[in-house]
Amino acid sequence: MMNEKETVKKEPLILAIESSCDDTSAAVLRGDLLLSNVISSQEVHAAYGGVVPELASRAHQQNIVPTVSEALRRAGITPRDLDAIAFTRGPGLLGSLVVGTSFAKGLAVGLGIPLIDVNHLHGHVLSHFIRRQKEEEVPDFPFICLLVSGGNSQIILVRSASDMEILGQTIDDAAGEAFDKCAKVMGLPYPGGPHIDRLAAEGNAEAFKFAKPHIPGLDYSFSGLKTSFLYTLRDELERDPEFIVKRKADLAASLQKTIIDILLSKLKIALDQHPEVKQIAIGGGVSANSGFRRAVEEFASHRGLRAWIPERIFTTDNAAMVGVAGLFRYRDKQFCDISLPPYSRVEI
């Protein structure tokens, strides 16, 4: 007979570390139950209109110890309680990844516990498995995930936590880049996505028509939209120098609708090709977009599918998703050797 302590012990206590870009994050999970998730964002990049890799890695160095300490404190545990350490091994900025990777390795060796390397993209896809309460529902496999961020726009068939297939992806810009680059030409601060989202709520989404790509299959393209948006602004500004100021809400709403239409058009084809799939999910920074979240809910309900929309805190880079992805690997005993280096590029 197991005593109570052993029964509780069955679910591993995992510390997760994420440092792939410009957020330093640490989380503690007991199994899939989230005990803490601390995110230290780096404000320093806003002045440069984008993430500066060298500044990002320096800020990770400053943030990593207080962020991990705070995650442990909020979870009410000490390092000695931990069963494993999961960390983002890639993809991302190498200088940023090195900080989280080295810290995770040092701590795991010091504590004598296993180390689990996690693909950041798996983290986004599996973020739907984070539970805040024991009874919370999670997706069933298979599902199709639209992973949309500043660096990715992918349609992924998720057969299991370790079996994911990219059905389609962008051949040029990612959806987040389209938001950010168009926002920039409107004079909005970086990153522009959230500003477009806010403005779009006040605008008419049918006011302007921008070019949509004609790419066969399930791949995306967003560079033509960016050019079409730029030309519209250039032509209209010649007629009226106040054009952007007067029409910014309509521009934002029309841009947002075009991006959502493009994203959903390919998702529809993917689902037609995979009738066995009854659940869809979204993930990545762009999945914070209000219009996109609404459109995915409506799309799913129209087709009789279940939609998984992440909490906004799990759309951005966070260690909770790294922890839950790490849990799946822990269960499969997929531990990593401390000699493994981080990687800046990798497929899902």
Binding site for ligand KG4 (CB under 6 A): 21, 149-151, 176, 179-180, 191-194, 196-197, 284-286, 288-289, 316-317
Residue 115 or 200: the one with the smaller Cβ distance to ligand KG4 is 200
* Distance, CA of 102 to CA of 225 (rounded, Å): 40
Angstrom CA distances, 95 to 87, 103, 217, stand at 15, 13, 36
As to burial, measured by CB atoms within 10 angstroms (0-12 exposed, 13-18 middle, 19+ buried), residue 292 is buried
CA nearest to 99, candidates 38, 36, 21: 21
The span from the CA of 280 to the CA of 125, in Å, is: 11
Alpha helix stretches (DSSP H) within 201-318: 223-239, 243-273, 290-303
- Three-state DSSP at 12 gives coil
**3-class DSSP state for residue 124?**
helix
CB 2 to ligand KG4: min, Å: 41
Q: How far is the CB of 181 from ligand KG4 (least distance, A)?
A: 9
Compute the least distance from the CB of residue 176 to ligand KG4, in Å: 3
| Cα pseudo-dihedral 107, 8, 88, 66, rounded to 10 | -50
Beta pairing partners, 158: 143, 164
Alpha carbon distance 291, 193 (integer Å): 12
Q: Which is nearer to ligand KG4, 18 or 219 (CB)?
A: 18
- Which residue's CB is nearer to ligand KG4, number 192 or number 326? 192
Q: Give me the sign of the Cα torsion angle 72, 74, 77, 83.
A: negative
Give the nearer residue to ligand KG4 in terms of CB position, either 86 or 252.
Answer: 252
Q: What is the CA radius of gyration of the chain?
A: 21
CB of 17 to ligand KG4, least distance (A): 16
Rounded to an integer, what distance in angstroms lies between the CA atom of residue 290 and that of residue 293? 5
In eight-state DSSP terms, residue 131 is: B
In the complex with ligand KG4, which residue's Cβ is closer, 117 or 180?
A: 180
Whose Cβ is closer to ligand KG4: residue 30's or residue 128's?
Answer: 128
- Give the ranges where 41-174 is alpha helix by DSSP (H): 53-75, 94-111, 120-126
Nearest approach, Cβ of 120 to ligand KG4 (angstroms)? 8
Closest distance of CB 184 from ligand KG4, Å:
10
Smaller CB separation from ligand KG4, 33 or 94: 94
CB of 4 to ligand KG4, least distance (A): 40
For ligand KG4, which residue has the nearest CB?
Answer: 285
State the nearest-atom distance from the C-beta of 77 to ligand KG4, in Å. 28
Residue type, 63: N
Residue nearer to ligand KG4 on the CB measure, 25 or 84: 25
Least CB distance to ligand KG4 at residue 248 (A): 15
Q: Which is nearer to ligand KG4, 179 or 229 (CB)?
A: 179
As to burial, measured by CB atoms within 10 angstroms (0-12 exposed, 13-18 middle, 19+ buried), residue 14 is: buried
